[in-house]
Amino acid sequence: MYLEQMIKENPGINLTVNAGELLEFGQSIAAQTAKTVLEKNHEKVYTRNEVIEKFKICSATLWRWDKMRLIESKKIGNRVFYPESEIKRLTSLKGGDK
């Protein structure tokens, strides 16, 4: 993210940002924090996009799996994460990676 990189490279800089940029920055920090907290259990977690990419499915399919409780998810705020154990379980049910 451009704003995050600018802050890291110039920690003493004063910035003027619009609301959209500030919201995006806040969501990025929240996602990083949530992922770090979940991974402190020594288990990797995956984002929705990572699961969608791994199983080559659409977001509607993942949403349906979640609602049918075919996959366990962890929610922090408006972010959803999937534990690696769930990914491995689904992979074994599907007969391995595609």
* Residues 63 and 49: beta-carbon distance below 8 Å: no
DSSP 8-state symbol, 14: -
Residue 1, pLDDT score? 55
Q: Where are the domains of the chain?
A: 2-94
Confidence band, pLDDT 50/70/90 cuts, at residue 6? confident
pLDDT at 73: 92
Torsion 45-48-54-57 (CA) sign: positive
Q: What are the tens digits of pLDDT across the range 63-84?
A: 999 999 999 998 877 889 999 9
Q: Which tens digit of pLDDT belongs to each residue from 25-49? A: 888 888 888 777 767 777 888 999 9
Does the pTM of the predicted model rise above 0.85?
Answer: no
